[in-house]
Amino acid sequence: MTIAIDRPAAIRRMYALLSQGDVDGFGELVAEDFVEHQESPGFERTRDGVLQLFRAYLAAFPDMRMEPEDVLQDGDNVVARVRATGTHRGDFMGMPPSGRAIDVQLIDIMRIGEDGRAHEHWGVFDALGMLRQLGAIPGPGQT
């Protein structure tokens, strides 16, 4: 008897754990053989690299929330359109805390295995929008 894995529920659980600041709990849902396909300078494309990345984000944005707005499944892959919000309260990419809020969109595709864990991730997010919101680069019409 095969038990069906609820892949959309697994990815929603990952976002919920990160929104609670629980990187270790999130890490339990990431397979040891995990491969990160999205480049994040300074972080390895492994399970440990992703955990370090989220620890860095939570240090910079301790109130970070990741709200999945759409979650779609195609076989082992789950696609999520996510709204990420937070307040810049810690160092981030060499920028001291600004107290500014961010509100950005991202798209994640994760391959969830029969074990209910993420084995691969591809993603894109609005890095330009985030840097504008943080005041690191000017927005349209600003000098």
Q: How confident is the model at residue 4 (pLDDT cuts 50, 70, 90)?
A: confident
**How far apart are the C-alpha atoms of 122 and 83, rounded to whole Å?**
16
Q: Who's near 82: CB < 8 A, 6+ residues apart?
A: 15, 66, 67, 68, 69, 105, 106, 107, 108
The DSSP H or E segment spanning 119 is: strand 118-125
pLDDT, tens digit, for every residue of 44-96? 999 999 999 999 999 999 999 999 999 999 999 999 999 999 999 999 988 99
Share of the chain above pLDDT 90, in %: 87
pLDDT, tens digit, for every residue of 103-138? 999 999 999 999 999 999 999 999 999 999 999 887
CB 123 within 8 A of CB 109: yes
CB 37 within 8 A of CB 108: no
* For residue 102, pLDDT beyond 70: yes
Mind spelling out the 3-state secondary structure of 45-90?
A: CCHHHHHHHHHHHHHHCCCCEEEEEEEEEECCEEEEEEEEEEECCC
Instruction: Please report the pLDDT score of residue 100 as a whole number.
Output: 97
State the pTM of this model.
0.92
CB 111 within 8 A of CB 120: yes
Q: How confident is the model at residue 143 (pLDDT cuts 50, 70, 90)?
A: low
Instruction: Please report the pLDDT score of residue 127 as a whole number.
Output: 92
Instruction: Please report the pLDDT score of residue 140 as a whole number.
Output: 73
Class of domain 7-133: alpha beta
* For residue 1, pLDDT beyond 60: no
**How far apart are the C-alpha atoms of 126 and 113, rounded to whole Å?**
27
For residues 92-131, one letter each, b for 16 or more C-beta atoms within 10 angstroms of the residue's C-beta and e for the rest, the string is beeeeeeeeebebebebbbbbbeebbbbbbebeebeeebb
